[in-house]
Chain A
Amino acid sequence: MPKDIDAKESGIGAATKRREDIRFLTGTGNYTDDINVNGQAYVAFLRSDVAHGRITSIDTAAASAMPGVLRVFTGADFEGVGGLPCGWQVTDRHGQVMQEPGHPVLAQGKVRHVGDPIAAVVAETAEQARDAAEAIDLEIEELPAVIDMKAALQDGAPKVHDDLTSNLCYDWGFVEENKDAVAKAFDAAAHVTTLELVNNRLVANPMEPRVAVGDFNRATGESTLYTTSQNPHVIRLLMGAFVLGIPEHKLRVVAPDVGGGFGSKIFHYAEEAFCTFAAKALNRAVKWTSTRSEAFMSDAHGRDHVTKIELALDGDNNFTALRTETYANMGAYLSTFAPSVPTWLHGTLMAGNYRTPLIYVNVKAVFTNTVPVDAYRGAGRPEATFQLERVIDKAARELGVDPIALRRQNFITEFPYATPVAVEYDTGDYVATMDKLEEIADLAGFAARRAESEKAGKLRGLGVNCYIEACGIAPSNLVGQLGARAGLYESATVRVNATGGIVVMTGSHSHGQGHETSFPQVIAEMIGIPEHMVEIEHGDTANTPMGMGTYGSRSLAVGGSAMVKATEKIIAKAKKIAAHLMEASDADIELKDGKFSVAGTDKSVAWGDVTLAAYVPHNYPLEEIEPGLEETAFYDPSNFTYPAGAYACEVEVDPETGKVTIERFAAADDFGNIVNPMIVDGQVHGGIGQGIGQALLEGCVYDENGQLLSASFMDYAMPRADDLPFYQVDHSCQTPCTHNPLGVKGCGEAGAIGSPPAVVNAVVDALRSGGKDVMHIDMPLTPARVWAAMQG
């Protein structure tokens, strides 16, 4: 981290140690599975073991008679209950709205993926519930499954949903009006590079599996759901309004300490609705704790795109046009935000960091008999970055030019910059981040390191790429036009207590990001008080204002901005009180280091004097302002933020086995202003770890019948400590965001977006250095795949 930032001891820019660590390090965190409600019962789900089938009979009599069983629920119990809603409606290139199938809590007549919940047993103990679930007499007529996306779109392919016209959810074109001009540019190109690739299906796998505890208070009629969510208010809204018909004032959703999310805990899941429903039906709290095996077939998956990308260049190697065709897997149902991921979070980023004047993106979203696919760390932006940065690398190799030079030549250098894919980058400096990368990655020393590797019988490769992302999601009016069925503002209530301490109630949700530490840094800076005087409350709809939660690197950019706005209201009011106490005009009051003073005089009152006056208003302008010091603000961003950067990876490949090892990894990011550089470093490290995981290890694989072959950690390779190196990270290049009050851009997803192409570029470079004519290998680059590629 830059030394000038590191040097600050508190407030914005300080590497304040995390206060939440104390409870996590001593085993006193409060995760959802740690919550036990008096008298709670346990649910076990009977899930489909076939990918596609018709339920011909279901007999629960034997199961109902098993020891401890309270009740067995089936789809019939949910006939009058709403299905799980989809929060985004995409309109296709022909002006048609997407095909939107129902998504029942428990299967209604048909099962559509392995893991689809069919029935649920509630019993006194978890093992009794499982015992009884196995005793349900179920007959399923197995139907042919569609797994491959292109096969699913063939005429006569089995339909995942009988009531839809086909397995095509939508055929999206962007920008449709540019299509012909793009085609003409390709006709006129001096060189065209084409690449077909797969963005592999991933499972988010936060270390904490999902848990839900439903509770019901018959006296008040209030339902409570404790759940592993990144956005409790969103769950309250979706489940209350669309599934169970419970108004907000009778439904409390609590997401306590949450053990990671990475997108997979954004969505509203059937198990949450079930536990809330069953608690009321049985007048007993009902708990569900997912096993990891269950998570693999019930958590929404990520990525899973198949893409053809073409890049047109003129005779001077300037990019003149870009065209993509992508098949995006939706799985069997539309998860909460699934339709937005391959469209508005993907197509809008296809310009990358480059001045490509004409771009056309086509995305066909496809239903298959697989687990639903939705946002996973980066969500659409990693897919955009991967294909763009891979095709540029391939173009450089075809043209025989340096891949970094080709990128630099085509960089956007003037801001604001309106891309041909409908977004406007407010700030950035891609030359600066690339310069910084070349420095921290010591690219000048690569040739010597390669020679050392070759001496040891290894092939060494260097991969470099850029990325840009759109974060700080999102302007509500804009996303509304694009099909969002929600606003994407954030909220904060700042409550100042009589003796000056502050509690901030935020709609943002921390599940590893460290809000409890970083948010107080902002308020401490604004008021000039110690950070420990500020506490953050989040995660409980009963005591926080309506907020949209944490995803899309939005917490500080949007939630932090709401907090700043509320704090500004606090300061404005406090100045009025201070002015009264000092018999001065509020226009003359200055706030510095926790002290209000009258400009040009030595008169001052302390922060605590003012806050006490607000609550003990004896000497107070009661005719002008109310007592108390508590303000709420909602902040709706006017644009996305655009973090960007440049990444470099060096690999060694064992030519005998195809095994790839990451030798060096460097990331130069521009996140705008930084509140806590230690936390930012950690976010980047974690993102890179997941990106390397995608590139080398992770892949969710189905067989042709829809059986999940990578169904546990025994077959889904998670990155381990010895798969990864130390990373060089830098965020000293800072072009502050121009449209939020903190000038911040967001850092949560960058690492996962920027790193996969660097790894693949590096492996291709290594193999080519060994004389292998390899241009591309699909992720994950397992030893077996790399070895196969080397065999030609």
Chain B
Amino acid sequence: MYEFEFARPATVADAVQALTAEEAQALGGGQTLIPTLKQRLASPSVLVSLSGIAEIKGICQTDEGLLAIGGGTTHAEVAEGAGAYPALAALAGQIGDPAVRNRGTIGGSLANNDPAACYPAAALASNAVIVTHAREIAADDYFQGMFTTALEEGEIITEVRFAVPEAANYQKFLQPASRFAMVGVFVAKYFDGVRVAVTGASEEGVFRWREAEAALSANFSPDAIAGLSVAQEGMIGDIHGTKAYRAHLVGVMTKRAVSAAR
């Protein structure tokens, strides 16, 4: 790692202030950022840890009936405490491994927007609201391609709000080495339609499979998408699987998610 200053503010306001320093960077759970720093692929001047900020931790129901999860809430805490949204809790319980889940946070994952991360699929399929210290961003506007989001520099995710669907499920097909999603599909059925978000597969990062959404909104059953497939073009092709394979898996995982949706 390159040398950096370390700050661990206790409030969002102090963190925002600390992040105004040149080349300052926020540190969530660090489960992606610290390995990146070890490889010397990033060189912040100041690392601002968000782990000491109590106000961005925890899970609650909002007055509007939304499930609100603090940006600093760990995957393990979501897996344990988001019972109101079982598919989301189950997804959190599949991220990384137990030790990673004890450190990694939902805010950190969404801010990083790794193209193979799990949370972006849930957030996009639920059209979650990404709340920062400055504003609220709808998931549909938030994800802008791999490792790219609507966040401004120094903007901190303080909360993520989910409308709990009637039924939902996440199916994750593992990349055998990293155990990130080679293809992960989150299907969420709301009263006004079905949303399908796919992670791991596309060079553009998480995306909505709108053709499947339309078919499933009309008929929420695996058969509804039997003839559908995503285009191979734009899929990731690498040593773990070709573009064609990932496109195929999107279909299989979507069907399975629909079958398993509760």
Contact = CB atoms under 8 A, between A and B. Distances in A.
Contacts of A715: 177-178, 239-240
A701 B239 contact: yes
A38 to B, nearest CB: 26
Contacts of A788: 242, 245
A717 B173 contact: no
Interface residues on A, range: 20 to 34
Contact of B239 (A134, A291, A699, A713): A699
Contacts of A787: 245, 248
A697 B249 contact: no
Interface string A705-743: 000011001111110000000000000000000000000
Given A714-B177, A717-B176, A787-B245, A657 B1 contact: no
B121 to A, nearest CB: 18
B65 interface: no
A709 B249 CA distance: 23
B241 interface: yes
25 contacts: A127-B1, A127-B3, A131-B2, A134-B40, A293-B39, A657-B173, A657-B249, A657-B252, A709-B238, A709-B239, A713-B177, A713-B178, A714-B177, A715-B177, A715-B178, A715-B239, A716-B177, A718-B177, A782-B240, A783-B241, A784-B241, A784-B242, A784-B245, A787-B245, A787-B248
Nearest to B177: A717
Contact of B252 (A130, A656, A710): A656
Nearest to A709: B239
Interface in A92-148: 127, 130-131, 134
A790 to B, nearest CB: 11
Contacts of B178: 713-715
A656 to B, nearest CB: 5
A714 B35 CA distance: 11
B252 A782 contact: no
Nearest to A700: B239
Interface of B: 1-3, 38-40, 173, 176-178, 238-242, 245, 248-249, 252
A782 B242 contact: no
Contacts of A659: 173
A783 B239 CA distance: 12
Contacts of A697: 176-177
A782 B177 CA distance: 11
B233 to A, nearest CB: 18
Nearest to B241: A784
B20 to A, nearest CB: 27
Interface string A436-478: 0000000000000000000000000000000000000000000
B240 A784 contact: yes
Contacts of B245: 783-784, 787-788
A718 B38 CA distance: 21
A713 B176 CA distance: 10
Given A291-B38, A783-B245, A788-B242, 11 more contacts: A127-B1, A127-B3, A293-B39, A697-B177, A714-B177, A715-B239, A717-B177, A782-B241, A784-B241, A784-B245, A787-B248
A656 B254 CA distance: 12
Contacts of A710: 177, 239
The interface centre, meaning the residue of B173, B176, B178 with most chain A CB atoms within 10 A of its CB, is: B176
A784 B40 CA distance: 32
Contacts of A293: 39
Contacts of B1: 127
Contacts of A717: 176-177
- 4 closest Cβ pairs, A-B complex: A717-B177, A784-B241, A717-B176, A714-B178
A724 B223 CA distance: 34
What secondary structure prevails in chain B residues at the interface with A? loop
Nearest to B178: A714
Nearest to B237: A784
A130 B39 contact: no
Contacts of B240: 715, 782, 784
Contacts of B242: 784, 788
Most buried by B among A130, A657, A709, A716: A657
A520 B172 CA distance: 50
Contact of B176 (A127, A656, A701, A782): A782
Nearest to B248: A787
Nearest to A715: B177
A293 B40 CA distance: 12
A129 to B, nearest CB: 13
A130 B239 contact: no
Contacts of B173: 657, 659, 783
A148 to B, nearest CB: 16
Contacts of B3: 127
A130 B176 contact: no
Nearest to A127: B1
B173 to A, nearest CB: 7
A787 B251 CA distance: 14
A224 to B, nearest CB: 30
A656 B178 CA distance: 22
A196 B38 CA distance: 42
A783 B242 CA distance: 11
A715 B173 CA distance: 15
Contacts of B238: 709
A716 B248 CA distance: 23
Greatest chain B CB density within 10 A among A701, A715, A718 is at A715
A93 to B, nearest CB: 36
Contacts of B176: 697, 717, 782-783
A714 B238 CA distance: 13
Nearest to A656: B252
A568 to B, nearest CB: 51
Contacts of B177: 697, 710, 713-718
A110 B3 CA distance: 32
Contacts of A701: 239
A718 to B, nearest CB: 7
Interface in A640-660: 656-657, 659
Contacts of B38: 291
Contacts of B40: 130, 134
A290 B1 CA distance: 15
A42 to B, nearest CB: 14
A710 B176 CA distance: 12
A627 to B, nearest CB: 59
A657 B238 CA distance: 17
Interface string A241-274: 0000000000000000000000000000000000
A293 B39 CA distance: 9
A699 to B, nearest CB: 7
A738 B240 CA distance: 48
Contacts of B249: 657
Nearest to A723: B176
A710 B177 CA distance: 9
Contacts of A718: 177
Contacts of A127: 1, 3
A526 B88 CA distance: 64
Nearest to B2: A131
A697 B174 CA distance: 12
A701 B240 CA distance: 11
Contacts of A716: 177
Nearest to B1: A127
Q: Which of B38, B178, B239: most chain A Cβ within 10 A?
A: B239
Interface string A288-301: 00010100000000
A783 B240 CA distance: 8
A784 B176 CA distance: 11
A717 B178 CA distance: 7
Interface string A687-700: 00000000001010
A127 B40 CA distance: 11
Give the residue among B38, B177, B245, B249 with the most A Cβ atoms within 10 A: B177
Contacts of B239: 699, 701, 709-710, 715
Contacts of A783: 173, 176, 241, 245
A657 B176 CA distance: 13
Contacts of A714: 177-178
